[in-house]
Amino acid sequence: MRFPDRATVAAALAVLAVVGVACGTTDPASQERLPPIQTTTPTTTTTTIPVVPLDFLYVVQSGDTLGKIAAEYSVTVKAIMDRNGLTGDGIQAGQTLEIPEGLLVVDGGLTSDTTEP
């Protein structure tokens, strides 16, 4: 193992001494304490927005069944029956039904009015 000679070590120490003085380590201003840094505590604010179901009314047409209506609006027959207090498939043309909020079905990003080539 080879060690640096005395001249190299002396030169390195001289450079460090100059750098130390240049950095202000002996300057009285550099010895002063800085004021404390003001810190903040992060806060999280949450807002609760009530979600109101988007029920709507449907007027039964001639030939409609609960199954057809349920399929058209992506809801279950049971959901329509429960919402309207029905006990069977006895619906009549002209009758108004409340349709509960259904599911939005997205198929590959295409909307229902998009035509395929």
Closest to 66 in 3D by CA, of 88, 42, 49, 44: 88
Task: Report d(CA 5, CA 12) in Å as an integer.
Answer: 11
- pLDDT computed for residue 114 by the predictor: 41
- pLDDT computed for residue 90 by the predictor: 81
Residue spans of the chain under pLDDT 70:
1, 3, 17-30, 49-55, 89, 102-117
- pLDDT computed for residue 73 by the predictor: 87
In CATH terms, is domain 56-99 a member of 3.10.350.10?
yes
- pLDDT computed for residue 101 by the predictor: 78
- H helix intervals, the chain: 6-22, 66-72, 77-84
- pLDDT computed for residue 62 by the predictor: 92
- pLDDT computed for residue 1 by the predictor: 60
Maximum alpha-carbon separation in the chain: 109
Q: Are strands 56-59 and 96-99 parallel, antiparallel or unpaired?
A: antiparallel
- pLDDT computed for residue 40 by the predictor: 76
- pLDDT computed for residue 66 by the predictor: 92
- Other C-beta atoms closer than 10 Å to the C-beta of 50 total 4
- pLDDT computed for residue 112 by the predictor: 45
